[in-house]
Amino acid sequence: MLLTKFSPKNTRNFTFNICFGTDVERVGFLSKIATNSDNVYLGMLAEYIPALEKCIEQWYKKNLLPCGELTVINGAYGEIGSSNISFLRTLNTILLLYKNWQELSSEDNLCELILKGCKENLII
């Protein structure tokens, strides 16, 4: 899981920031997103950062990055359910939503947008 903030800008630039670190305390309410046997922790492990950078690189090569500043403020990871691919796919989805935020006037639009992203291989 990623907590992000996107600030659209009227420039052609894209800036990406990652805040990472870990909290040794298990986060109880976040365990609702994982299996009962997984321990979920608040924070962002450094081992997942290359996946996030790879995602940004893929969007950059396709010239699809939205104009503005994207900051990964925090995250949550599980001992069992987290992987580089899960963080890459999560950030892909987040970028798709931020790039098309003006189209998100309803929940139906959200589902259509994600399906379109899957069909166009924007969500890997």
Give first-to-last CA distance, the chain, whole Å.
16
Q: Kindly state the average pLDDT of the residues 36-49.
A: 82
The parent domain of residue 10 ranges over 2-119
pLDDT at 69: 93
Domain count, the chain: 1
Assign 39 to helix, strand or coil: coil
**pLDDT value at 15 more than 90:** yes
Q: Tokens in use for 16? A: 């990406």
Task: Establish if 81 belongs to a structural domain.
Answer: yes
* Residue 8: band (very low, low, confident or very high) from pLDDT cuts 50, 70, 90: confident
pLDDT at 57: 93
Reported as a single tens digit per residue, the pLDDT across 74-123 is 888 888 878 999 899 889 888 988 887 777 666 667 777 777 767 766 65
* Residue 43: band (very low, low, confident or very high) from pLDDT cuts 50, 70, 90: confident
Task: Establish if 47 belongs to a structural domain.
Answer: yes
Task: Establish if 124 belongs to a structural domain.
Answer: no
Enumerate long-range contacts of 16-21, CB under 8 Å, 24 or more apart.
16/56, 16/69, 16/70, 16/71, 17/69, 17/70, 17/71, 17/72, 18/44, 18/49, 18/52, 18/71, 18/72, 19/44, 19/71, 19/72, 19/73, 19/74, 20/44, 20/45, 20/46, 20/49, 20/72, 20/75
pLDDT at 31: 47
Q: Among 8, 99, 120, which Cα is nearest to 56's?
A: 99
Burial of 16 from C-beta contacts in 10 A (0-12 / 13-18 / 19+):
middle
Instruction: Name 15's bridge partners.
Output: 69
Neighbouring CB atoms inside 10 A of 38's CB total: 15
pLDDT at 74: 84
Task: Establish if 59 belongs to a structural domain.
Answer: yes
